[in-house]
């Protein structure tokens, strides 16, 4: 498989991308990461980009993520918010996990918020669902459908007993029912 080649191919699997922990608040619009290659204080930021940035991009498709290499004397993350606000996060000499926790603490949604959103998304009612937990108890409540047999009997040709009787007796039974 071609997607399993290269450095750390696990990063390209859907299972790995879904395990990302950072889900940004709606006010976050752009994430800009600045670091230097072959620079010891930038090592954690470089590893953050390598390991966690794909997960961040997968979990936050509406957030633009930009990386700048070898353009700054010290590593930092700049986050652009709604209303032309900018927030700088110093990542100098921090590990990838420390950066992840710090960014999640400041810009990420809390666990409680994520749980509440997941529950709200599960409860989305599909209009095609019927039953005691759905919006409609029975299919007969929709206009244009056959009325409920509990309130109005079905026509004979729609009943299973009638269809069975036709098969057993042949077409003669149809004429007898029409005459009655």
What digits encode the pLDDT tens for the residues 136-175? 888 888 888 888 877 888 887 777 787 787 777 776 545 5
Instruction: State residue 143 phi and psi, 5-degree precision.
Output: -65, 145
Residue 132: predicted pLDDT: 84
- Contact predicate 71/38, CB 8 Å: no
User: What are the structural domain ranges in the chain?
Assistant: 2-109, 139-179
d(CA 8, CA 98): 21
Residue 108: predicted pLDDT: 96
Instruction: State residue 87 phi and psi, 5-degree precision.
Output: -130, 130
d(CA 139, CA 162): 23
The fold of 2-109 is Glutaredoxin (3.40.30)
pLDDT in tens, 88-107: 999 999 999 999 999 999 99
d(CA 70, CA 164): 81
Count of CA atoms in the C-beta half-sphere (13 A) of 49: 20
What lies within 8 Å, CB to CB, of 38 at 6+ separation is none
Question: Which residue has 């029409």 as its token pair?
Answer: 178
d(CA 44, CA 27): 26
Paired tokens of 169: 């007796």
What lies within 8 Å, CB to CB, of 175 at 6+ separation is none
Q: Is the pLDDT of residue 39 over 50?
A: yes
Q: Is the pLDDT of residue 24 over 60?
A: yes
For the chain, give the mean pLDDT. 87
d(CA 48, CA 97): 8
16 or 7, greater pLDDT: 16
């Amino acid at each position: 498989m071609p997607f399993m080649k290269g450095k750390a191919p696990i990063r390209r699997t859907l299972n790995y991308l879904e395990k990302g922990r950072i889900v940004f608040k709606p006010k976050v619009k752009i994430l800009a990461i600045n670091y230097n290659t072959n620079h010891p204080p930038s090592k954690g930021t470089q590893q953050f980009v390598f390991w966690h940035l794909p997960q961040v991009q997968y979990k936050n498709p509406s957030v633009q993520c930009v990386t700048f290499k070898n353009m700054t004397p010290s590593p930092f993350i700049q986050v652009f918010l709604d209303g032309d606000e900018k927030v700088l996060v110093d990542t100098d000499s921090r590990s990838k996990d420390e950066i992840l926790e710090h960014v999640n603490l400041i810009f990420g949604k809390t666990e409680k918020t994520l749980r509440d959103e997941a529950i709200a998304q599960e409860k989305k009612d599909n209009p095609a669902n019927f039953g005691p937990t759905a919006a409609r108890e029975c299919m007969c409540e929709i206009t244009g459908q056959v009325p409920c047999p509990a309130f109005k009997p079905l026509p004979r040709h729609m009943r299973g007993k009638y269809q069975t009787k036709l098969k057993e007796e042949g077409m003669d039974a149809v004429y007898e029912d029409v005459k009655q």
